[in-house]
Chain A
């Protein structure tokens, strides 16, 4: 199975997936740490993938989304963005709606 297919499977079999450097408990980069904190602040269960554990994943995920950096967030198979966008969406309350559409006040 190609890296692309592996990534597709992980992304489509988890509602919320965060590709990051390190793990939520031991992030290896400030931006990765911040994105994990944001998801925890949103009280969201999420799968995390440590791109440092596999160079093919680290490069593959950038090609998969045509986005040059990690961390990267995917929700229900859709690429949401990196740390910058997650922070802006979180501050505007938009991220909470994306993560939990059914409970978001409208």
Chain B
């Protein structure tokens, strides 16, 4: 079963400029992904970018991944 670090690495590999933080219990994971490439993208398109980065692993290993997909400005605005 994947660890948060595995998932962080997979996303990072697909979105090299992104800042990625992942937490989770082995089946359900929460990720915060900050990337200026999200600017002007719909929520759906942003999530699709992350799923594309995860590729086939998403279908096999990860039951549930909840995501916050933010641009650097949105991230700062949330004070996260």
- Nearest-neighbour CB distance to chain B for A45, whole angstroms, equals 23
B47 touches A84 (CB 8 A): yes
- Nearest-neighbour CB distance to chain A for B68, whole angstroms, equals 9
Q: In the complex, A42 Cα to B34 Cα: how many Å?
A: 30
In the complex, chain B residues 24-80 whose Cβ is within 8 Å of any chain A Cβ: 43-44, 47-48, 51, 54, 58-59, 64-67
What per-residue 1/0 map shows which CB atoms of A63-88 lie under 8 Å from chain B? 00011110000000001111011001
Q: In the complex, A69 Cα to B51 Cα: how many Å?
A: 10
- The yes or no answer to A46 lying at the interface (CB within 8 A) is no
B64 touches A66 (CB 8 A): no
B47 touches A85 (CB 8 A): yes
- Asked, given contacts A31-B64, A68-B58, whether A80 binds B44 with beta carbons under 8 Å apart, the answer is yes
Chain B residues whose CB sits within 8 angstroms of the CB of A79 once the complex forms = 44
Chain A residues whose CB sits within 8 angstroms of the CB of B64 once the complex forms = 31, 69
* Size of the chain B interface, CB-CB below 8 angstroms: 12
- The yes or no answer to A38 lying at the interface (CB within 8 A) is no
Which residue of the partner chain B has the closest CB to A66?
B48
- Nearest-neighbour CB distance to chain A for B13, whole angstroms, equals 17
Selected contact of A84 from candidates B48, B54, B59, B66, CB within 8 Å: B66
B67 touches A84 (CB 8 A): yes
- The yes or no answer to A62 lying at the interface (CB within 8 A) is yes
Which residue of the partner chain A has the closest CB to B56?
A68
Which residue of the partner chain B has the closest CB to A59?
B59
Q: Which residues of B contact A (CB under 8 A)?
A: 43-44, 47-48, 51, 54, 58-59, 64-67
- For the complex of A and B, 4 pairs with smallest distance between CB atoms: A68-B58, A68-B59, A84-B66, A81-B44
